[in-house]
Amino acid sequence: IKEFSYSQRLMDNLKNYKIKYIYLSVDDDKHKWRVNSERYGLPTKNSYIIDNKLNSLFLEKIDFSSIPRYLIFGKTGMLEVSNATKPSDPQTTKILQSLSQQ
């Protein structure tokens, strides 16, 4: 939760780069997820809940085992960084800048 504000700063600082930010949740309670998303100021655009978390091929493929988890995909949609640093880490900015310029 404390990374949400850093996430917003990261988006603001890199707003001139062609980067899409996607939020995924595995919460069981959709209402609680929506309420908390609003409470912490998460963007409503590109924010999704994974309904089939127990048999999701996507979660299986990325070896989902911890929350939060940060993934970085390249321009072609390929997973570039499967366990990225958190938004508050300066390395995250460097990675995003580098990949967006390729």
pLDDT in tens, 50-65: 888 889 998 988 888 8
Using CA atoms, how far residue 83 sits from 33, 68, 87, in Å, is 23, 10, 12
Query: According to the model, what pLDDT value does residue 14 have?
Result: 94
Query: According to the model, what pLDDT value does residue 6 have?
Result: 93
> Which amino acid, one-letter code, is at 27?
D
pTM of the model: 0.82
Instruction: Say which residue, 91 or 42, is predicted with more confidence.
Output: 91
Burial class of residue 29 (count of CB atoms within 10 Å of its CB; 0-12, 13-18, 19+): exposed
Query: Could you report the per-residue pLDDT of 64-95, keeping only the tens digit for each?
Result: 888 899 999 988 889 999 999 999 999 999 99
Query: According to the model, what pLDDT value does residue 44 have?
Result: 83
For residue 56, the tally of other CB atoms under 10 A from its CB is 14
CA 64, CA 41: separation in Å to the nearest integer?
25
Cβ atoms 20, 46 nearer than 8 A: yes
> Per-residue confidence at 98, pLDDT binned at 50, 70, 90?
very high
